[in-house]
Amino acid sequence: MSAPTSPATGTAEKLSQHPRFLRVWASQSAGAVADQILPVAFALHAVQLGAGAGTIAVILAGRAIALVVCLLAGGILADRVSRPRILFTADLLRTAIVLGTLLALDDLPLAALGIVTALSGVAESLSRPAMRSLIPALLPAALLERGNALMSAVQRSATLLGALAGAAIVTAIGIHAALGLAALLFATGALAVLGVRDVAADNRARTSILADAAAGIATVRRRPWVAAVMAAVAVQLFAGTAPSLTLLPLIAADRLGGELAYGLVLAAAAAGALPAIALAGRWRPRRPGTVSMLALTTYAALPASLAFALPLPVTALCFALGGFVVEIYFISWLSALQREIPAEVLGKTLALDQLSAFALLPVGYALTGPAVAAFGIQPTLIAAAALTAAASAVTLLVPGVSTFSDPATAPTSDGGGRRGSGTRNGAVTG
């Protein structure tokens, strides 16, 4: 059965009437917890063994490098084959990777954990574009915000649980138990999506891989507002995320209260996203781009909170603010892309969106250690905060950014989007 496309019908329906969406949602929920357990467990394991900022950066950078290298390939694949099958394969791969790491952990040098996070990142590169481009095939256009909000809500909740669980388990029991739980969750995610079929995969046009990549790039180039937002988010991850995540476990151990404080601060970021998800799932501002990009300027609170000797509750509150504004932006942005981008290039465009976001993240990780050595922790973090705030504000100078749509086309009044029926990727059956 095809997903309904009538705005009136979609408005009357509820997410609970779409069981295939709920199965994908459950699958991604389990994986989201596991995804967060891994970096927390590895970072704390490194701190316990006396590692510094450089080693932690190497461990965390593995995932970012893999995403940069492989995301476009994942997007091309998502537009060529069954997306549920990709989700199943990605979770199965991560299960095997984590189990292998668990068995060999005692013999692995710390730097090798960067390879583990990179391999996990390769599987994530397959999963991300497939999941996000599958949602318009599972839901009518009028439910996209709610669907994206629910997906984000459970992933953020899972991130909160994963951060707390990872920190608590590593502290109380050890890293082996944390990795065992992560492997179990990835396996659960794979099982949850079994049996969901993407019928539209049988009808997709087959072109060369190079032509697919070129089509995705051309789609972005024809929309300067899309390119501008992608560039801004890349700078934010470079300046805001990389130094904050690299230095947080060290600062937590030095003055915030230790390993559990590290997990609490990460959990606060996830908790802060939850009210934003509830708001963004129902709120449709006339200029979503203006709201989103101005909100993102306050993401600078992450590095700024670490630059000064703030108490743990204040630092956690700043990270919670960061989580809040990211979700306000993300749900509006993802829903806009799902409406504005034609179905045949949606997977590639979403992959390019993620690729551009992570493009500078490995550079940020690589430069954090040398910057701290040259200038000190506080100047590095203050400069990072300033760059983070400026990156999103300047995008509002680009036509189309304020509405997250092509400037020549006004949004429709029914809330379904001018490409509501155009983004339907076909039937997805269980």
* pLDDT score for 11: 41
* pLDDT score for 360: 85
* pLDDT score for 238: 92
| Tens of pLDDT, residues 74-129 | 777 877 778 888 899 999 999 999 999 999 888 888 888 888 988 988 888 888 87
Q: CA-to-CA distance for 75 and 339, rounded, in angstroms?
A: 17
* pLDDT score for 204: 54
Lowest mean pLDDT among 3-7, 251-255, 293-297: 3-7
Kindly state the DSSP code that residue 345 receives in the 8-state scheme.
G
Average pLDDT score over residue span 326-332? 87
Length of the chain, please?
A: 430
Cross-strand partners of 428: 198
Q: CA-to-CA distance for 29 and 47, rounded, in angstroms?
A: 28
Segment of 188-197, 301-310, 400-409 carrying the highest mean pLDDT: 301-310
Name the helix (H) or strand (E) containing 197.
Answer: strand 197-198
* pLDDT score for 321: 94
Q: CA-to-CA distance for 364 and 358, rounded, in angstroms?
A: 10
* pLDDT score for 310: 86
Query: In the structure, what pLDDT confidence band is assigned to residue 162 with cuts at 50, 70 and 90?
Result: confident
**Displacement of CA 397 from its chain's centroid (Å):** 26
Q: CA-to-CA distance for 31 and 98, rounded, in angstroms?
A: 12
Q: CA-to-CA distance for 1 and 23, rounded, in angstroms?
A: 16
Looking at the predicted structure, is the pLDDT value of residue 274 above 50? yes
Token look-up 């709201």 returns 291
| Tens of pLDDT, residues 169-196 | 888 888 899 999 999 999 998 888 887 7
Name the helix (H) or strand (E) containing 58.
Answer: helix 53-78
| Tens of pLDDT, residues 2-54 | 344 433 333 456 777 777 788 888 888 888 888 888 888 888 888 888 777 77
HSE-CB at 247 with a 13 A cutoff on CA atoms is 30
The angle, 0 to 180 degrees and rounded to 10, between the axes of the packed helices 19-48 and 144-172 is 30
Query: In the structure, what pLDDT confidence band is assigned to residue 424 with cuts at 50, 70 and 90?
Result: very low
Sign of the torsion formed by the C-alpha atoms of 38, 39, 44 and 49: positive
Name the helix (H) or strand (E) containing 231.
Answer: helix 224-236
Query: In the structure, what pLDDT confidence band is assigned to residue 198 with cuts at 50, 70 and 90?
Result: low
Contacts of 384-387 with C-beta under 8 Å, sequence gap 24+, read 384/239, 384/240, 384/243, 384/244, 384/300, 384/303, 385/239, 385/240, 385/300, 385/301, 385/302, 385/303, 385/304, 385/307, 386/300, 387/235, 387/239, 387/240
Amino acid in position 356: S
Query: Would you tell me how many other CB atoms lie within 10 Å of the CB of residue 184?
Result: 16
* pLDDT score for 264: 85
Quickly list H helices, 79-208: 83-104, 113-138, 144-172, 175-192
Average predicted confidence (pLDDT) for the chain? 80
* pLDDT score for 297: 93
Looking at the predicted structure, is the pLDDT value of residue 373 above 60? yes
Q: CA-to-CA distance for 236 and 232, rounded, in angstroms?
A: 6
| Tens of pLDDT, residues 135-160 | 877 777 777 778 877 787 777 777 67
* pLDDT score for 381: 94
